[in-house]
Amino acid sequence: MKKRIVLIIGGGIAAYKCLDLIRRLKERGIGVRVVLTRAGEQFVTPLSVGALSNEPVFTNLFDLDAEREIGHIRLSREADLIVVAPATADLLAKMAGGHADDLASTVLMATDKPVLVAPAMNPRMWMHPATQRNVRQLEADGIRIIEPRVGEMAERGETGPGRLPEVPELVAAIEEMLAGSPAGAAREGPLAGLHVLVTSGPTHEPIDPVRYIANRSSGKQGHAVAAAAAKAGARVTLVSGPVTIPDPAGVDVVRVQTAAELLEAVTRALPADVGIFAAAVADWRVANAGEQKIKKTAGARAPSLSLVENPDILKTIASGKGPSRPPLVIGFAAETENVTEYAARKLKSKGADWIVANDVSPASGVMGGDANTVHLVARDGVESWPLMSKAEVAARLVARIAEHVAQRREAAQ
């Protein structure tokens, strides 16, 4: 049967992306009925929305004609999914507070269907404690939130978390929820009920607006671990640096560029039951990154870059006291010599519970390749696994985590 959604478009500059979103959903045979908030109408018009959705556009709670034809209760119940995009700080506050004073909030209060919310706003508004409190409340109410992405904002010179995810990501999340797959439904498997946080990929540390320092990490191993944890039933947050591989299915992906952004996204994603730090975080960033492109001038000396140390995300989280430290913290150690010896040292210095160590010397072909030979280093010894694919390494690591969790549960009884 044809699936249909109600799309509530809030008042934000990102509302323009919803026009394309409507087209892409229609291409996939998904019916879209749009509710425009009053603020939303300032950014996109009922005319353009109606022309693309080929359905009446709903704006007013007290529009008698519309109510006679299809009331707000029917509107909210006839859909398979309600999507709010972009969700403004005000809409989130209304939802968290249970308000129902316009059509959008009334539809949200009246629905018995799953709700997907994609917030987008200025980074300071997103990070404001009130917004964060409202988001946590909505998550506790069973609403799925797609975190805003980090990047440039429409306001000049503003960067940070607040961008609406791009249309293909919104489409993927909507299709996933319509299919009733992990993100929307109760999960099953040995890690069901657990939140697993994974970092993956390299970081890009800017030299100037067009150049950066990076490394050869592809993100394949970290992404495979995230996919395996989701398959085992965990709710997975994957914080990823810039990679060219696709998002794993059923995983919440937060994209970042720099180590500083990675730390911020990881901190925001806590608490977690398991933290797996597979990202190849740059150890240094450029202290004097240029705000404009550095120009080459004839006869002038080459610029010198001065580097400062980046935060060590694994160490920061693993050494954390109290509830913010996941009960199981796993680091990765890419080495080119003395692999297990260096890994054992790293286990101590970083305060991790396990280290997955691998040989990344050029002859190993691990960087960017599909296979890996790893050693699992724990306080009570080292376990060396044979050469296997990165997907198999991920599955085996997740199986070990599941064993550990089961033992801990038994011990707690």
Is position 331 an interface residue for ligand C5P (rule: CB under 6 A)? yes
Backbone angles phi, psi at 116, to 5 degrees: -120, 130
Residue 195 forms beta bridges with which residues?
A: 235
Token pair of 195 as six digits: 């939140």
Q: How far is the CB of 332 from ligand C5P (least distance, A)?
A: 4
Stretch that binds ligand C5P, among 187-195, 237-245, 292-300, 329-337 (CB under 6 A): 329-337
Q: How far is the CB of 269 from ligand C5P (least distance, A)?
A: 14
Q: Which of 312, 325, 374, 390 binds ligand C5P (CB under 6 A)?
A: 312
Q: What binding mask, one character per residue, do residues 152-181 give for ligand C5P by CB under 6 A, x or -?
A: ------------------------------
Stretch that binds ligand C5P, among 91-99, 234-242, 308-316, 359-367 (CB under 6 A): 308-316
List the 195-200 sheet strands across, edge first.
252-255, 235-240, 195-200, 274-277, 328-335, 354-359, 374-378, 381-384
CA distances from 178 to 3, 21, 74, 124, 232 (A): 7, 15, 19, 32, 21
Stretch that binds ligand C5P, among 19-27, 113-121, 185-193, 328-336 (CB under 6 A): 328-336
Q: Is 389 exposed, middle or buried (0-12, 13-18, 19+ CB in 10 A)?
A: middle
Q: Is 161 exposed, middle or buried (0-12, 13-18, 19+ CB in 10 A)?
A: buried
Total chain residues near ligand C5P (CB under 6 A): 15
Q: Is 213 exposed, middle or buried (0-12, 13-18, 19+ CB in 10 A)?
A: middle
**33 vs 375, beta carbon nearer ligand C5P:** 375
**104 vs 278, beta carbon nearer ligand C5P:** 278
Q: How many helices (H) and strands (E) does the chain have?
A: 14, 22
Backbone angles phi, psi at 55, to 5 degrees: -140, 160
Cis bond leading into 86, ω under 30°? yes
Q: How far is the CB of 205 from ligand C5P (least distance, A)?
A: 11
Token pair of 360 as six digits: 């990344």
- Among residues 155, 221, 242, the alpha carbon closest in space to that of 389 is found at 221
Stretch that binds ligand C5P, among 24-32, 245-253, 279-287, 373-381 (CB under 6 A): 279-287
CB 98 within 8 A of CB 66: no
Stretch that binds ligand C5P, among 11-19, 101-109, 267-275, 277-285 (CB under 6 A): 277-285
Is position 15 an interface residue for ligand C5P (rule: CB under 6 A)? no
Q: What binding mask, one character per residue, do residues 76-105 give for ligand C5P by CB under 6 A, x or -?
A: ------------------------------
Stretch that binds ligand C5P, among 10-18, 292-300, 307-315, 375-383 (CB under 6 A): 307-315
Is position 314 an interface residue for ligand C5P (rule: CB under 6 A)? yes
**22 vs 282, beta carbon nearer ligand C5P:** 282
**126 vs 277, beta carbon nearer ligand C5P:** 277
Q: Which of 58, 212, 332, 354 binds ligand C5P (CB under 6 A)?
A: 332
CA distances from 210 to 130, 152, 169, 217, 363 (A): 35, 14, 25, 20, 32
The residue type of 130 is A
Phi-psi region of 294 (alpha: psi -120 to 50; beta: other; left: phi over 0): beta
- Among residues 332, 328, 390, 338, the alpha carbon closest in space to that of 361 is found at 338
Active site residues: 215
**134 vs 199, beta carbon nearer ligand C5P:** 199
Task: State which of positions 344-403 bind ligand C5P (CB under 6 A).
Answer: 346
**84 vs 278, beta carbon nearer ligand C5P:** 278
Q: How far is the CB of 219 from ligand C5P (least distance, A)?
A: 12
**94 vs 346, beta carbon nearer ligand C5P:** 346
HSE at residue 70, side-chain half, CA atoms within 13 A, is: 17
Contact residues for ligand C5P (CB under 6 A)?
Answer: 199, 259, 277-279, 281, 283, 310, 312-314, 331-333, 346
